[in-house]
Each structure stands twice: as structure tokens, then as C-alpha cells.
Amino acid sequence: MTDQNNPILVVGSTGKTGLRVARLLAERGHRVRPVSRNTDIPFDWEQPATWTKALAGVSAAYVTYFPDLAFPGAAEKIEAFTKAAITAGVRKLVLLSGRGESHAKTCEDIVRDSGLDYTLVRCAWFAQNFSEGYLRDPVLEGMIALPAGKVREPIVDVDDIAEVAVAALTDDRHNGQLYEITGPRLLDFDEAAAELTKATGRAVGYVPITLEQFHQAMTGIGGPMIADVFTGICRETLDGRNEWLGDGIQRALGREPRDFATFCQTAAQGGFWPQAAPKPKVMS
């Protein structure tokens, strides 16, 4: 068990998983230190000087790296952060990682070999990408374009990830575990779009594009470096290697993961996709 008197650090506490992890910990009576670039105690991956204050006196840390563990310099920062955690007397790290990504695996190895207690939470695509992330606008516009062909992805609900992370942070039975966190079924993106259509009442379609088209679109959004990294991630992870179901949620929580259809209904009811305004009636 982590020491109840010392706070648990949540890095990326305003993000999709971090927000939920910090909230769940607080609800369950744990002391939490939520940090991002905009919190009272600021934490910036680009400014290691901010890490010391964030780590001071914490028992365990939930580590989410932004933008992605595949970005240049990520492994070096995870290594430096792990050393800073050891120096600060932190006992346990719980690392959010991605499935089938070689760079993420390098970062997992750094945490695994650190000598600290650890849990690795290796996740499939987040369902909340469609409601709170970069795919929300495409859903609202009715067209999701990805270089995914007919590949099937076991999309996972971030609420499930948060529950696994909280279990790992607060219960030593999860020490030394690698959890492959997936949803309960494989969906291709046509099937995901059909579920979104059903829940949102909007026609949502999927258009498979090439990696080159994806790179071009990403260059327009974030510039060539961002485009290179995200295209690399797609090349690596959308080639079929992740077309299998993990058992991390079952092993960590003793229950089945939430289904994508349930996520779609919950997010629609939560107002993440405002209903399209009804067309005004034309009086003749």
C-alpha cells in the first residue's frame, strides 16, 4: 500500500486519463497532487526544474507523457524523471503507455528497470479521442479520415484505464504488472463510425486514407515534425499488430471492460456531441 499521508502525484492531471485518475483518487480518500503546466504546482516535461517541487514528498506517481512517448527525447525525459523520482523518495511509478509502439516499450523498460515499484498500463486507442480529443471535430463534421484501412482496434474507455491506474497506485498487488488494456471487442473504423452514428443521431462516416495523405493533413495542423511522429505511430500501430484483445482490465479489476457502444451512449447523454440543430420548417 502507498503511504496514505503522502500525496499521489498525477502528471497530466487535466488530460483525459489524468483528470479521471485524480478525481477517483480524491473520491476514495487519497491525497492527490494533480499537476500539469497550468496547475498551482506547475509541471512541464520541457522544464525539468519544475519536476523537483512536484515530486517532493509524494509516495507514488501516475506518469502520462505528452504529446506521446514516441516523440524525440521522450525516453531521455522518462529516464531523467525516474531518477528524480528515486532521489525524491518516491516508491512507485504507474506509467501510461501505448500498445505496439516501440518507443513506448523503451520507456516501459526504463521504468521496469528503475528499481522502483511499478505498474505498466499499456493501452489501446482511447474511446474518448472521439468525444474529448482530436477526433471530436471530425465526428461533429460527420467524417473520420484515418490511415487505418480495415484494421480492427480494441478501442478502450478511458474510465476503465483510470480505474486500473487508481488500483495500481493504491494497491501493491499490482506491482510489477504489465496490463494490456483494451476494450472487449475489435472494431474497424466503419463499425466505430456506425456506433457513433447510432448514439449521436448524426451521420458519421469513415474514410480510409493513405499514410501520405495523413502526413499531409497533419503537416497542415502541427507542422512537419508532429506529422512525422504521428504518421510513424500510425504506421506502427495500424498494421494489424494490435488486432487482439488484452486482459488487463479483467486481471486488474476482475470485471469486463466497457463496450464502445456504451461509451457512445454515455458520451452522447453527457453532451459531448451537441445534437445538430433541426432544420427550420419552411412555411408555404
Ligand X SMILES: NC(=O)c1ccc[n+]([C@@H]2O[C@H](COP(=O)([O-])OP(=O)(O)OC[C@H]3O[C@@H](n4cnc5c(N)ncnc54)[C@H](OP(=O)(O)O)[C@@H]3O)[C@@H](O)[C@H]2O)c1
Minimum CB separation of residue 107 from ligand X in Å reads 9
Q: Is 106 exposed, middle or buried (0-12, 13-18, 19+ CB in 10 A)?
A: middle
- Residue closer to ligand X by CB (options 15, 232) is 15
Kindly list the residues in this chain that would bind ligand X in the complex (CB under 6 A): 12-16, 18, 36-38, 43-46, 64-66, 68-69, 96, 98, 123, 125-126, 129, 133
- Residue closer to ligand X by CB (options 201, 223) is 223
Q: How far is CA 2 from CA 33, 56, 60, 110, 170, in A?
A: 14, 15, 7, 21, 6
- Residue closer to ligand X by CB (options 134, 173) is 134
Give the separation between CA 220 and CA 223, rounded to whole angstroms: 6
- Residue closer to ligand X by CB (options 48, 240) is 48
Minimum CB separation of residue 123 from ligand X in Å reads 4
Give the separation between CA 124 and CA 258, rounded to whole angstroms: 13
Minimum CB separation of residue 108 from ligand X in Å reads 12
Q: How far is CA 205 from CA 149, 193, 265, in A?
A: 13, 6, 17
Minimum CB separation of residue 257 from ligand X in Å reads 14
Q: How many CB atoms lie within 10 A of CB 231?
A: 19
Q: What is the DSSP string of 240-282?
A: STT-S---HHHHHHSSPPPPHHHHHHHHHHTTSSPPPPPPPPP
Minimum CB separation of residue 281 from ligand X in Å reads 41
Give me the residue whose beta carbon is nearest to ligand X: 15
- Residue closer to ligand X by CB (options 168, 281) is 168
Minimum CB separation of residue 46 from ligand X in Å reads 5
Minimum CB separation of residue 90 from ligand X in Å reads 17
Question: Across-strand partners of 62?
Answer: 10, 94
Q: How many CB atoms lie within 10 A of CB 100?
A: 17
- Residue closer to ligand X by CB (options 156, 204) is 156
Give me the amino acid identity at 154. Answer: P
**What are the start-end ranges of the H helices in the chain?**
16-27, 51-55, 74-88, 102-112, 136-141, 158-170, 189-200, 211-222, 224-237, 248-253, 260-269
- Residue closer to ligand X by CB (options 17, 170) is 17
